[in-house]
Amino acid sequence: MDHKTPIRQFLRDLLARKSDGQPFSDDSSLLISGRFDSVDAVDIVVMLEEKFNIDFAEIGFDQSMIDSVDSIDSLIRSTHAPKPCEGDAEERREQTGHVSKS
Amino acid sequence: MNVNVTMTTESPADFRESMPASFRLIPRIETFPKIVSFAQTPVGKLVLLAIFGVGLWASDIDWLPLTFALLIITFIPSKRRLLVTICTLAFIFLVPSIHGPVPLSIVITFLQVFALAAVLFWCAVRWPRSLYGRRPIIFLLCAFWVFIELGTILPRNGRAYILLWQFLFILSTYIWFIGYSLLDANSPNHDNFALQLGVYSPFWGSSNTPFPKGASYLRKIEARDAEQLAVTQLKGLKLLAWSLLIFLGLRWSNSFFHDYLRIPTFAEALKLSVQRQPLPWYGCWGGLIFSFFIGLMNISVTGHRIIACCRMAGFDALRNTYRPLSSVTVAEFFNRYYYYFRELLVEFFFYPTFLRYFKKSPQLRMAAAIFAAASFGNAFYHFTASLDFVRVYGLWRALMSFQVYFFYCVLLAAALTMSTLRQRRKVHPGFLRSRLLPATSVVLFYLLLDVFGSTEHKYSLTEHFRFFGHLFFLNL
């Protein structure tokens, strides 16, 4: 599922509210580079809580988690990834022949 | 993911000002391709460092060891982080000995504090899911508070008393640095403790507030190649030039307004009010305004110089102070005035509160988080930075003497809450209503708030209110 489009739009709107019309790419730093401040970070957090059911109190929070479109996307993917038990994962690897690079 | 350091990262607040401006007092040399290319050559690096060294010398600080440290780091960029640690340790243990021998007991106490930090960091990394691993900052701050309590009940002038307070004084200067390390410990790609140590009061300068935050931030803003390093260093040089210009302005302002025009400082005006010989209302305002702008220039000079050195070492940190007078909201001013202090409050107090409590009530959630940071966190920070006062007068009297500053923190938090909640609602059209009037109101608010912003603990809250009354022709 493509999460990046709505994220991009949300971030663009947030920047527009700060009169910042400069473009950004998916890997552009927005928070650590200073384009967003902590109040904007709060808006992103609330959006992720409401739309993607992410609970930062549970998973921990670091500004770099929501620093760019890419990082937000990977955060959503990691929190919504199915968590199979060891046996299931092993079985699926055997079926697909997939070997994890990590 | 990398932070693209070639991108302009001047502002801690927003990017409006980074759009092309018609005139710049100090040109954006980091955008001139020929200068950037030259700064990548060995000769260019030496020239840059030489100019920077002259700037440091003119800043009235210990310029030689600092320039030497920057020289080494510039020419061995592959070992930058390790060299930062080595230089920081050299600045703690070796550089002070230029001016006189450092007592062995002090050296041992520093080592004890670092050993404690290493143990805390190791435990947080080793047991991330334990109660301590999930809440290391609460453990750190509570343990620190217990040590302070212990210090106030030990028999005075005994050996344990002296050793404990010596340990506490040094620990108090490192407490937030250790805190940033503990926050980083949960990160999957955290630095080892040797690299964490490099940003414990780093050699480029700091206060009790870590400039610029911790090792985690440093990893993200480090220059990745020769071009990024050149751009970052040129921005550092530019910032040092700003620091020098404001430094000159500060000296001139002091001699002209204070020495020549005899405008008092706020402290002097307050003292006269306490002695029941208050200045007329315009004298009180004069003192308040003068001290406000002197404070603003002081923090700009120091912050710019520290961040300039940090950038020279290859880290593209944001400025500490960035055009605070252009702020149109109370919250924006707080963001622009002392960025790294605000970041400390946000990371240690705001986020933990916001992410855990009152999730069903957005406004209450925001208010609670702001009060946790700007009120509790702010007061806690300043209280623990005044340990000598606690040692001399005891915990209870020290707390009582902080009444004025506690009041200041509550006022500030209330204003920040209103500002943050209000700014989400409406934007006025036109320069007068959108910029000038709000900016003036913000400065006026902080001027009046400064009446209660003293951390000197000399006078009661009543005396500060009495001075406040003098500003409005009231003799209370």
Instruction: Flag whether pLDDT at A98 surpasses 80.
Output: no
What pLDDT is stored for residue A99 in this prediction?
A: 34
B373 CB near a chain A CB, below 8 Å?
no
Identify the sign of the CA torsion B245, B247, B250, B254.
negative
Domains and CATH numbers, chain A: 4-96 (1.10.1200.10)
**Nearby residues of B121 by Cβ (< 8 Å), 6 or more positions away:** B178, B181, B182, B185, B193, B196
A102 CB near a chain B CB, below 8 Å?
no
Answer yes or no: do B355 and A33 touch at CB < 8 A: no
Mean pLDDT of B240-247: 95
Q: What is the pLDDT of residues B248-284, one digit of tens each?
A: 999 999 999 988 888 999 999 999 999 998 899 999 9
Distance CA B338, CA B299 (A): 8
Distance CA B192, CA B28 (A): 36
Cross-strand partners of B387: none
| Whether the bond into B128 is cis, omega within 30 of 0 | no
Distance CA B207, CA B188 (A): 28
Mean pLDDT of B307-334: 93
Rounded to a whole number of angstroms, the CA Rg of chain B reads 23
Percent of chain B whose pLDDT exceeds 90: 65
The answer to whether B202 and B312 are in contact (CB under 8 A) is no
Mean pLDDT of A91-102: 38
Domain boundaries, chain B: 104-201, 241-471
The answer to whether B350 and B396 are in contact (CB under 8 A) is no
Q: What is the pTM of this model?
A: 0.88
Distance CA B81, CA B73 (A): 9
B428 CB near a chain A CB, below 8 Å?
no
In chain A, which residues have their Cβ closer than 8 Å to the Cβ of B318?
Answer: 34
Cβ under 8 Å to A: B residues 281-320: 318
Rounded to a whole number of angstroms, the CA Rg of chain A reads 16
Q: What is the pLDDT of residues B437-463, one digit of tens each?
A: 889 999 999 999 999 987 677 888 899
One-letter amino acid of B429: P
Answer yes or no: do A42 and B11 touch at CB < 8 A: no
Average pLDDT, chain B: 89
Mean pLDDT of B347-360: 92
Cβ under 8 Å to A: B residues 8-27: 9-16, 18-19
What pLDDT is stored for residue A57 in this prediction?
A: 83
B419 CB near a chain A CB, below 8 Å?
no
Question: Cα separations (Å) of B204 from B56, B92, B402, B424?
Answer: 11, 12, 31, 38
Instruction: Flag whether pLDDT at A95 surpasses 50.
Output: no
> With bands split at pLDDT 50, 70 and 90, how would you rate the model's confidence at B396?
confident
In chain A, which residues have their Cβ closer than 8 Å to the Cβ of B366?
Answer: 42
Q: What is the pLDDT of residues A26-72, one digit of tens each?
A: 888 888 888 888 788 999 999 999 888 888 888 888 888 898 999 99
B366 CB near a chain A CB, below 8 Å?
yes
Judged by DSSP in three states, B315 sits in: strand
The answer to whether A36 and B330 are in contact (CB under 8 A) is no
Answer yes or no: do A57 and B356 touch at CB < 8 A: yes
**Nearby residues of B401 by Cβ (< 8 Å), 6 or more positions away:** B389, B393, B457
Distance CA A77, CA B321 (A): 37
Q: Where are the alpha helices (DSSP H) in B275-329?
A: 281-312
Q: What is the pLDDT of residues B158-167, one digit of tens each?
A: 888 999 999 9
Cα distance from A39 to chain B (closest Cα, Å)?
8
A42 CB near a chain B CB, below 8 Å?
yes
Judged by DSSP in three states, B222 sits in: strand
